[in-house]
Amino acid sequence: MLRRGLLALFVMTSLLAGGAGPAAAAQKLRVLLDWFANPSHAPIIVAKQKGFFAAEGLDVDVIVPSSADDATKLLIARQADVGINYEPQLIMQQAEGVPLVRIGTIIDRPLTCLMVKSDGPALDDLKGKKIGYSIGDLQTILMRTILARHGLKLGDVELVNVNFSLASALASGQVDAVIGAYRNFEPIQLAMQGVSTHCYPVEEEGVPSYDEMVYVANRGDVGRPELKAFMDAVTKAAAWLKANPDAAFDSFKTFAPELDDELNRRSWTVTVPAVASPPGALDKAGYEKVAAYLQAGGLIKEVLPPERYGVDLTVP
């Protein structure tokens, strides 16, 4: 009896001292970027490098894709857990039945602009000019909106598919303007090459404002606690990097050697103000407005309830 009592006391003492066994292993999470790592991914990279993910019990693998379409394909197949998308494209995909949903916002405003050289044509003078683009349906609608504000029609310009070579197409004179340039990247890139440009923000030319980049997941995974932990981590990372931009860049650049250069430093300064903080809240009215715009442009047939487009995992 005495031996049995001593054994019970030993077990109880061990449990109270935290000796019940090793700590629970961190939950693996696969996060797929939309393209090569850059300052637009700041909250994800800072959350990883500064330990915000680890503090939430997550072991996050940040994956750079081979193409921009990888995230959608792998999320549908559940071979990734979180991906990056863009509000207009997500709304269009949902109209086609793609089972993805927005779980948070990375960049809370458009970065897209219509870019011309500083000595290039003004918007009123685009008639007869060549406009480079990379994504057909959406950027065609954006151009139609911009041109209409200046008394022009799509038929007044020549649209040229330059794939994703927007900066080089403009710099070389292949086209007179490009639609789809990101104001936090291509203008800086060209300026460093000695090419001065001007960006016309799409939201100042009749296009409703939208979230340029959002976190997305498979709708069937929304209830997973790991996704809530992910959003809690990037929420803290976004707040910290906006409050400490210089220290945050020092952390960001440790993710990969190529991030520690002048282009990324300049882009960082332009990007940080656009980082969503807090990233969880869903702008329901904004999503309805963008969906109505896409419907009017013939890109979707109906506007869905905003809850179909996104959720807020940061609320209890």
Cα–Cα dist 287/203, whole Å: 14
Tell me, yes or no, whether 138 and 275 share the same domain.
no
Asked if the structure places residue 245 within a domain, the reply is: yes
pLDDT tens, residue by residue, 55-93: 999 999 999 988 777 788 899 999 999 999 999 999 999
Do 216 and 303 lie in a common domain? yes
Banded pLDDT at 24 (limits 50, 70, 90) = low
Whether 4 maps to a domain, the answer reads: no
Q: Is residue 168 part of a domain?
A: yes
CA-to-CA dists, residue 125 to 116, 152, 177, angstroms: 12, 9, 11
**What tens digit of pLDDT does each residue of 143-190 get?**
999 999 999 999 999 999 998 899 999 999 999 999 999 999 999 999
Write out the residue range of the structural domain in which residue 120 sits.
112-204
Same domain, 231 and 270: yes
- Bridge-based pairing state of the strands 213-218 and 82-85: antiparallel
Q: How many CA atoms lie within 13 A of 72 on its CB side?
A: 15
Residue 304 lies in a domain: yes
Helix axes 42-49, 245-252, angle to 10 degrees: 80
Q: Does the global pTM surpass 0.85?
A: yes
What pLDDT, on a 0 to 100 scale, did the predictor assign at position 65? 87
Number of H helices, E strands in the chain: 13, 10
In a domain, 15, yes or no: no
pLDDT at residue number 163: 87
Residues 158 and 242 in one domain: no
Question: 292 and 230, same structural domain?
Answer: yes
Contact 42, 272 (CB under 8 A): yes
Apex CA 95: angle with CA 67 and CA 166, to 5°?
35
189 plus 233 within the same structural domain: no
pLDDT above 70 covers what percent of the chain?
92
Specify the pLDDT at position 13: 37
Q: Kindly give the residue spans of alpha helices, DSSP state H, lying in 165-211.
A: 166-172, 186-192
Inside any domain, residue 316: no
Asked which of 149, 184, 204 is the last residue of a domain, the reply is 204
Same domain, residue pair 235 and 97: yes
Instruction: Kindly state whether residue 70 falls inside one of the protein's structural domains.
Output: yes
Average model confidence (pLDDT) across the chain: 91
| Mean local confidence (pLDDT), 95-120 | 96
End-of-domain residue from the set 180, 204, 228 = 204
Q: Is 132 exposed, middle or buried (0-12, 13-18, 19+ CB in 10 A)?
A: buried
Our count of domains for the chain comes to 2
Q: In what order do the strands lie in the sheet with 158-161?
A: 158-161, 130-133, 177-182, 112-117, 197-201
**Does residue 293 share a domain with residue 233?**
yes
Same domain, residue pair 163 and 219:
no
Q: Going along the chain, which residue ranges are E strands?
A: 27-32, 58-63, 82-85, 100-107, 112-117, 130-133, 158-161, 177-182, 197-201, 213-218
What are the distances in angstroms from CA 245 to CA 134, 178, 237, 238? 31, 30, 11, 10
What type of residue is 170?
L
CATH number of residue 85's parent domain: 3.40.190.10
Give residue 136's pLDDT band: very low, low, confident or very high (50, 70, 90).
Answer: confident
Task: Report the C-alpha gap between 264 and 245 in whole angstroms.
Answer: 13
Spatial distance between the Cα atoms of 30 and 207, rounded to a whole number of angstroms:
34
Residue 34 sits in the same domain as residue 95: yes
Contact 152, 129 (CB under 8 A): no
53 and 95, same domain (yes or no): yes
Is residue 76 in a domain? yes
Tell me, yes or no, whether 87 and 226 share the same domain.
yes
pLDDT score for 135: 83
Question: Residue 4: pLDDT above 50?
Answer: no
Question: Cα(63)–Cα(60) distance, rounded to whole angstroms?
Answer: 9
Q: Which of 167, 185, 204 is the last residue of a domain?
A: 204
